[in-house]
Amino acid sequence: MVQEQPYIPKNKVRIVTAASLFDGHDAAINIMRRIIQATGVEVIHLGHDRSVEEVVNTAIQEDANAIAMTSYQGGHNEYFKYMFDLLKEKGAGHIKIFGGGGGVILPTEISELHEYGITRIYSPDDGRAMGLQGMINDLVKQADFPVGNELNGEINHLEEKNPTAIARIISSAENFPEVAKETLDTIHKKNETTHIPVLGITGTGGAGKSSLVDELVRRFLIDFPGKTIGLISVDPSKRKTGGALLGDRIRMNAINNPRVYMRSLATRQSNLALSKYVNEAIQVLKAAKYDIIILETSGIGQSDTEILEHSDVSLYVMTPEFGAATQLEKIDMLDFADLVAINKFDKRGALDAIRDVKKQYQRNHNLWDTNPDDMPVIGTIASQFNDPGMNTLYKKIMDKIVEKTGADLKSTFEITREMSEKIFVIPPHRTRYLSEIAENNRKYDETVLTQVEVAQKLYGIYKTIESVSKKQVNIDKAGIEVNSLNFNDDNKDFLNLLVKEFDRVKMNLDPFNWEIILTWNDKVNKYKNPVYSFKVRDKEIKIETHTESLSHSQIPKVALPKYQAWGDILKWNLQENVPGEFPFASGLYPFKREGEDPTRMFAGEGGPERTNRRFHYVSLGMPAKRLSTAFDSVTLYGNDPDLRPDIYGKIGNAGVSICCLDDAKKLYSGFDLSHAMTSVSMTINGPAPMLLGFFMNAAIDQNCEKYIIENNLQVEIEEKINEIYKAKKVARPRYNGELPKGNNGLGLMLLGVTGDQVLPKEIYDDIKIKTLTQVRGTVQADILKEDQAQNTCIFSTEFALRLMGDVQEYFIQKNVRNFYSVSISGYHIAEAGANPITQLAFTLANGFTYVEYYLSRGMNINDFGPNLSFFFSNGIDPEYAVIGRVARKIWAKAMKNKYGANERAQMLKYHIQTSGRSLHAQEIDFNDIRTTLQALYAIYDNCNSLHTNAYDEAITTPTEESVRRAMAIQLIINKELGLAKNENPIQGSFIIEELTDLVEEAVLQEFDRITERGGVLGAMETMYQRSKIQEESLYYETLKHTGEFPIIGVNTFLSSKGSPTVVPAEVIRATEEEKQFQIKTLETLHNANSGLEEEQLEMLQDAAINNKNLFERLMEATKYCSLGQITSALFEVGGQYRRNM
């Protein structure tokens, strides 16, 4: 395909870009906004997870020509239609709407949206036909119309702060100065008597000005509940194309408030930090009677002071990384700024930096009689929630504004501490942890090689002794058993010499390694015996060591090498070993658990009842119930179901809707959550602690129900519940519809109440303690991976990590031994585009970051180590054949030798899901072939559990038929495939050993690269992980597109029809009834717990402020409050996640 040339717009075109609400898929919109910008457009980029109201308000305030959205999480019909309606309602129907969502948006839905009035929804076929630039040209061409060429009395609506009127006059001033002249003259005249303060904020690029402005706005809105604020933010235009990235809004959370107006301006000229039309924009905002105006420039050089001409009070923002102190003499703004903020005060050298800047400020302003400590230079960490330095800066700014302008803005904001203090997740002295692990593991490998050399030498001497002695020679702990030698006059001296040499060489062999050699034959014989016995937590388990084939061959479950030489034996034991022994290369346990295949199938759709039915369908007749839960995007982002269209459309789509404890009870009803053969996995991250609270309480209440039945208390308890609901005047919650086959109703008796409301306290407490020790499962809760790859972060990173730590601490206190507090996930890193080595390296690096964080909180590694689990993707690349064994080896070596952990904490347990990225929408029947090969990799590598994707997941939510086929893939391998009867089939293969060494070293090298960037969190600040993932994704997509990387049925071996994209015959979506029932459930909860909810949320916030364990409180709050209520309450005390570009 010939690359199309970019369209050249005739007008100044402004376009708002974003990904839709509760949608973290931002890779596509990032590519689109780059191309739109390169086509000469001013792009206002909002990033992922944006509501219709946010996008529409932005488009109106920015006077945009168009909105360009991506929507990959369903609910697109409601989302785009609501956007169209809201624009019309707000008098902005001229703004055009463009969108795309890959195969998620069906052709019939595209037609429906076009008919409704949406300008254009692009399909995958459009992309193939037009190419990326062709699509963008089409979009920009349709959005290329003049804005501000006419004014129709907008000036009359300024004082009512009408955003459309304000925006249009600013656009007119920018685009058609001659049209705006008369209006602006009138505004200037009016403003002669107005004294509205302007705060000018300038500084170097990358100093964090946008985050700092957002934090100032947040404090202003709290400090002055009735006052308003206007923002003007300037970003540079590209000289080559005229396009601009107006990206300040992406970092801001506080501006989504009716009391805030923001307008982004492009400089529209190179080498300047301000637009020519800044003064006009300020005058328009003054005429609109905003109480304060903030003007933020783009990044400036050392000599730029342009901001001073437009502001009453000026703030210069810099970082500690300005170089030598002499550089400060060159910064003009230090001569004129009223205040200086040294942001990113957590950087190395910050205290020296603030001292030098204060001295320079003192010199520049001739303040020789003033103590340098009293200079208006403040260290801040704007990215940290409720930062004391930001509080101090805000107070000083407001005081300076009052002092200089006499504005009625006397601040009553309270300051607790003056100085910014970084809340370190990883203590500074531990930032080299990943390189230390790499060094530790390499040292182990070097030691192994040295010891192997010694053992091999010893074996050579031993065989020589045997040859000279002409009989079998025995060995024991001390070395050669001299009594077993055959001495005679001819060989006596030579044998004595050999024994002496043997003893000398043996002194270099670790006694532990000599023991391995001594006991090797015993180990081999243990596996040859018909029955093998071993202990798990003091319980003896006996296993048959062989299975019999149809040909009556005895197939060993574990095959051992037939090595004779001691060096080979030692190397194999130290680097491979049998399953269940360090370094766990071939598996964690001596044998697989019989009667429980590692099958774990994913389900989640509609309301809790529908998913409950699917769970019972996939586990019917299975001895082990392994449930894996997918949540809808409303739940994933910690929200409640709502009638608002952009939320409503997503309820129960692409996952189950869960917003309260009753939902969790219905979801898992009929499954005994305390049974040793039941295990539940929950794929949830941002709001994971709340969902975990729902789950734990559901399990506790199930055991309360069992107690009630065992003690024949049903009638009495039923009466109690009826009385409770009679008093509340609310209908009792119920399971919607009939119970499915296999559901015995366990978990539904106490719907609407909890066990502590109907049982005596001591009985409830006993049941609770016991239940917590019994539940089995996993909650994903991996916040680091979310920031790097998947974008379902909702809280600030530090607060999210604190929540994770609180959960783990609670697990230790309550002896929760069988439930994993986190599933450290590489799957989503791979799905975002990472190759297998990067997936493994980033995932293990994240895992070790949690280890370091928990250690820094004083937890014992042997207490929390066993609660950590992992989750990987399996593609078809060669490295996937060894991903599990390499992970187990790296983890075990580090945990044992670096951290001194016990054996249980050394075991890396992981779940595998076959690659979603390798499911193609062309020739979908071929997907099962790929999935089968990936499942084979996983089973041969001894994964702990496995999910096989359904072949039709590329185009729709899986049907019962496709799920059954996906299950059959695993079952056929486990039950029918002969080689799979052996549990270490890839051990001993030359290529597997080669790949293992290759991948292990590649991962350790990546650890070193991350260390160079300050560890995982330091690398995240510079977006190292995200950039690397995107580069690797682009590399794969390019090779796929050119056909250099052959994909059967996609770019080669096409059918006679050209293997077109398959459109699903049926699409599974949540029904109206299900959505309405979820909203009704929520209403019932709020009515039933009115008053109690507020009390619980207050106690939760109090726990956050006073540094108490939050999960302890969440266990109570989740009994009464909804998910959305808890999320909102925690935003106020923990801070919202700040998006990155």
The C-alpha atoms of residue 930 and residue 1108 are separated, in whole angstroms, by 49
The C-alpha atoms of residue 905 and residue 868 are separated, in whole angstroms, by 8
List the structure tokens of 765: 């407490």
The C-alpha atoms of residue 580 and residue 577 are separated, in whole angstroms, by 8
Residue 210, annotated ligand binder? yes
Residue 909, annotated ligand binder? yes
Residue 681, annotated ligand binder? no
The C-alpha atoms of residue 696 and residue 438 are separated, in whole angstroms, by 38
The C-alpha atoms of residue 383 and residue 291 are separated, in whole angstroms, by 26
Residue 234, annotated ligand binder? yes
Nearest to 169 by CA among 285, 268, 18: 285
Question: What Cα–Cα distance (Å) separates residue 595 from each residue in 599, 907, 1107?
Answer: 11, 22, 45
Residue 776, annotated ligand binder? yes
Instruction: Quote the longest CA-to-CA distance of the chain.
Output: 124
Question: What Cα–Cα distance (Å) separates residue 329 from each residue in 238, 352, 362, 900?
Answer: 30, 16, 12, 52
For 744-781, letters b (16+ CB in 10 Å) and e give eebbbbbbbbbbbbbbeeeebeebbeebbebbbbbbbb
Phi, psi of 29 (to 5 degrees): -65, -30
Residue 120, annotated ligand binder? no
List the structure tokens of 825: 């996930």
SS3 535: strand
SS3 443: helix
- β-sheet with 244-246: strand ranges across: 120-122, 96-100, 66-70, 14-19, 42-45, 244-246
The C-alpha atoms of residue 517 and residue 744 are separated, in whole angstroms, by 55
List the structure tokens of 232: 């003007």
User: In 967-1111, where do the E strands start and end?
Assistant: none
Residue 816, annotated ligand binder? no
Residue 248, annotated ligand binder? yes
Give the list of residues 6+ apart from residue 224 with CB closer than 8 angstroms, or none: 291, 409
Residue 675, annotated ligand binder? no
Residue 1134, annotated ligand binder? no
Q: Which amino acid is at 795?
A: F
Nearest to 173 by CA among 159, 164, 183, 162: 183
Residue 25, annotated ligand binder? yes
List the structure tokens of 298: 């783009």
Nearest to 701 by CA among 624, 772, 640: 772
Residue 865, annotated ligand binder? no
Residue 826, annotated ligand binder? no
For 968-985, letters b (16+ CB in 10 Å) and e give ebbeebbeeeeeebbbbb
DSSP 8-class letter at 943: -
First to last CA, the chain: 30
Which residues is 98 bridged to in the sheet? 68, 120
- β-sheet with 292-296: strand ranges across: 260-266, 229-235, 292-296, 198-203, 313-318, 339-342, 377-379
Residue 207, annotated ligand binder? yes
SS3 544: strand
Asked if 455 contacts 517 with a C-beta cutoff of 8 angstroms, the reply is: yes
List the structure tokens of 953: 């997941």
Give the list of residues 6+ apart from residue 698 with CB closer than 8 angstroms, or none: 661, 664, 665, 667, 668, 673, 747
Helix axes 177-191, 163-175, angle to 10 degrees: 120
**Which residue has 């300008």 as its token pair?**
119
The C-alpha atoms of residue 839 and residue 610 are separated, in whole angstroms, by 34
Residue 235, annotated ligand binder? yes
Question: What Cα–Cα distance (Å) separates residue 364 from each residue in 330, 337, 751?
Answer: 11, 10, 70
Residue 734, annotated ligand binder? no
Residue 209, annotated ligand binder? yes
Question: Would you list which residues are annotated within the binding site for Mg(2+)?
Answer: 210, 234-235, 248, 296-297
Question: Would you list which residues are annotated within the binding site?
Answer: 25, 206-211, 234-235, 248, 251, 296-297, 343-346, 591, 626, 776, 820, 869, 904, 909, 1021, 1140
Question: Would you list which residues are annotated within the binding site for substrate?
Answer: 591, 626, 776, 820, 869, 904, 909
Question: Would you list which residues are annotated within the binding site for GTP?
Answer: 206-211, 251, 343-346, 1021, 1140
Question: Would you list which residues are annotated within the binding site for adenosylcob(III)alamin?
Answer: 25
